[in-house]
């Protein structure tokens, strides 16, 4: 505030200080990555992870601590076409009036700091309450099986040498739709000992694309190793080593000595987190 005078009066001119844009800012990140050389998405001590690489790049750009959480914790060797994460940055000084970087600036800056096998596809401003995992209503995974040896895509497929009955596999895949007990397909997760094996699958099916057999499944959530073990069982069915009735029993939560699902777990190489779905009134801030 400053005072100004003329001959007849004294008046006051108010000069406002710039208002801070807010001490907390959130963004929604969409990321693709080749998981071959990583110990999964989730940060671990003494292990190279995708989340760790992303955090390192973001903290270097923002010159301070950040909060990054993903929509799904992909395992070692698993890839993502469109993983989603939230990025939150809190300024310690609430009077800090520097403008926040624009989404396109964050995209360029973080990509320039990431290794070549991790890439930001998109950055959007988000509400401060947006949570990549908790707000997601569905996740879609795909699994790629190659029916021939390939020189170029080995680390992105599972090559099954023997002929497969794809029609039988496709019929079984449709059986996955609905509410099932996936205890036969679940690996023990010590971090979630009380997790229910009940999963509601919204859609599932198999398509062929040339030499590829592509399995796609969408559900609100997945128990650990579920998709890879389902694929392993589908391949056993395609090889005529189990029957459709065997597969149906597994979906009822029944296990038998001859149905060693854990031993059938498909390799990580063919699995991709393909899409994460959010409600229409979602995370991203609309103008």
Report the candidate in 250, 82, 259 with the shortest Cα–Cα distance to residue 172: 250
d(CA 244, CA 237): 7
Please tell me the distance from the alpha carbon of residue 143 to that of residue 266, in angstroms, as a whole number: 9
Considering 8, 34, 67, 75, which one is annotated as catalytic? 75
Sort strands 212-219 and 198-209 into parallel, antiparallel or unpaired. antiparallel
3-state secondary structure of 220: coil
* Number of separate helices (H) and strands (E) present in the chain: 5, 12
Burial class (CB in 10 A: 0-12, 13-18, 19+), 41: buried
Distance CA 246, CA 257 (A): 12
Q: Is 246 a catalytic residue?
A: no
Active site residues: 75
């Amino acid at each position: 505030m400053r005072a100004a005078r003329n001959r007849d009066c004294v008046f006051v001119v108010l000069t406002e200080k710039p208002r801070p844009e807010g001490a907390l800012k959130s963004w929604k990140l969409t990321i693709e990555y080749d998981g071959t050389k990583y110990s999964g998405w989730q940060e671990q001590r003494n292990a190279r992870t995708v989340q760790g690489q992303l955090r390192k790049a973001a903290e270097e750009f923002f010159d301070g601590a950040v909060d990054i959480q993903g929509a799904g914790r992909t395992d070692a060797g698993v890839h993502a076409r469109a993983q989603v994460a939230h990025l939150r940055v809190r300024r310690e000084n609430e009077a800090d009036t520097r403008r926040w970087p624009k989404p396109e600036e964050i995209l360029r800056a973080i990509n320039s700091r990431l290794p070549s096998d991790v890439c930001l596809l998109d950055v959007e401003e988000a509400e401060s309450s947006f949570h990549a995992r908790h707000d997601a209503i569905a996740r879609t995974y795909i699994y790629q099986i190659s029916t021939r040896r390939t020189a170029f895509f080995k680390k992105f497929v599972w090559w099954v040498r023997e002929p497969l009955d794809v029609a039988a596999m496709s019929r079984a895949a449709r059986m996955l739709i609905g509410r099932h007990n996936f205890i036969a397909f679940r690996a023990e997760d010590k971090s979630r000992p009380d997790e229910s094996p009940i999963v509601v699958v919204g859609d599932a099916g198999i398509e062929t694309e040339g030499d590829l057999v592509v399995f796609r499944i969408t559900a609100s959530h997945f128990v650990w190793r579920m998709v890879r073990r389902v694929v392993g069982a589908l391949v056993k069915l395609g090889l005529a080593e189990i029957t459709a009735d065997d597969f149906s029993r597994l979906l009822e939560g029944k296990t038998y000595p001859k149905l060693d699902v854990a031993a059938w777990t498909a390799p990580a190489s063919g699995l991709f987190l393909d899409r994460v779905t959010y409600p229409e009134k979602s995370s991203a801030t609309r103008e």
